[in-house]
Amino acid sequence: MMEQPLSFSAEAGLAEGSGSKPGEAERLLPPEAPRELGHYRLVRPLGHGGFAEVYLGEHRYLGTAVAIKLVRACLEPAILQRFCAEARLAARLEHPHIVRIFDFVLLEEQGLAFLVMEYAPGGTLRQRHPRGSRLHPATILLYLQQIGAALDYAHRQRCIHCDIKPENMLIGRDGSLLLSDFGIASLAGQSQRDCPQAEAIAGTLAYMAPEQLAGQPEFASDQYALGVVVYEWLCGECPFRGSPAEVLAQHVQAPLPSLRQRVPTLPPALAAVVERALAKQPEARFATVLEFVQAYEQALGQALRPRLRPRSPSRLAQGQGERPTRRAVMVGMTSLAASGLLGGGLTWLAFSSSQLHPSRPALPDCPLPLSQPTGQPLEAPVQMTPTRPVPQKHQGQRHASSSFFPQTGPSAASRSSGPARL
């Protein structure tokens, strides 16, 4: 028989902490449910587990909302014993991502026992992500970090949860996750072969490790169950399916179905991390749950890190660069056009100045400007070899031509009255 998940959602239009009317509680509660338990008034049912019923309760004087887990002690002494063990075990655990236990009351006269614990109005992760949902690996990492921290703390307290699944991951008031339902949790070294709630344990068979199925849970059993949850979130289904007997046999003997065959786009390093957490032998998994979370985070970071395209070795040997992009070509052409316009403007400016002031004498010993007109059209400027100007004659003195570069035109002798002097 499949165990019903514990629902901690705040639907039905009853606002948390608003204080429901007694008439509303009468209509919402089943006839067999008590209306009050100690200082708490029951408002409505939230769900039921393997051996208990869960109600939304309200403190009669403080008006605070709580979750009340109720078990009828008169049903079976073994159930009551396990319920008391859960209360003692959960009360020892104080962690930001573990549901807090406020009170435990045993009413022997009425044959009832109930556990008062923190109410999570956001529901469960199963309600947020129904079966068949596929989550982004980054979203899974956020969940892993919180549940992994809670499990690591519980393991350091020598506590094995033994029932990791999305139904037991609650969403608190601030949106953070809370690990709940330590109903079948055990201390390290205890055996579950004689567990009176075999049917309830069979309800989470899809998440159970091989050694837990053999009645010998270990810390690594919680890691295995968490790995099944991650596997399910990545591809939308658990690794093993079928009848309870078939699923049990597959957990123990069948190889794990390849995660990348179901999700071909999944990075190989990420799939390898999840598959290691689902190893058949506990010693083949990660040493701790935190190592599993850290390995997942590292693999995800490598997959999301932008990768540079390597250059071809042949192109590196030939000294060829990367092909320029269209944007680079356009920028280069625009720069060349701007340079041409600027050079043409300067040439036109120099030409205009010489036309406006034709009689302006040149400064002595000053070279000609680079934009000196050449008589050629401006559309096709030619490159000239700059020369020193010929000094002016003063007081009848005659000077020889002194060219800075060798003359390429008529010789200097043709421009003087006397023979050229070497």
Q: Name the residue among 152, 304, 169 with its Cα closest to residue 229.
A: 169
Rg (CA), the chain: 43
Mapping DSSP onto H, E and C, the string for 285-346 reads CCCCHHHHHHHHHHHHHHHHCCCCCCCCHHHHHHCCCCCCCHHHHHHHHHHHHHHHHHHHHH
* Nearest residue to 167 (alpha-carbon basis) of 212, 221, 225, 95: 225
Output b/e per residue, 138-166; b: 16+ Cβ within 10 A: eebbebbbbbbbbbbbbbeeebbbbbbbb
Handedness of CA 290, 162, 87, 101 (dihedral sign): positive
Residue 145 token pair: 């970090």
3-state secondary structure of 212: helix
Closest of 209, 151, 207 to residue 182, by C-alpha: 151
Strand partners of residue 169:
179
**Given the residues 163, 174, 194, 222, the one annotated as active site:** 163
Per the CB < 8 A criterion, the answer to whether 299 and 276 are in contact is no
Q: How far is CA 372 from the centre of its chain?
A: 67
Distance CA 312, CA 2 (A): 58
Which candidate, 74, 68, 80, places its Cα nearest to that of 29?
68
Distance CA 292, CA 225 (A): 12
Rounded CA gap, 239 and 232, in Å? 7
163 is catalytic: yes
Return the number of other C-beta atoms located less than 10 Å from residue 277's C-beta: 24
Tokens representing 328 are 């680079």
**Tokens 């690996």 belong to which residue?**
137
Active site residues: 163
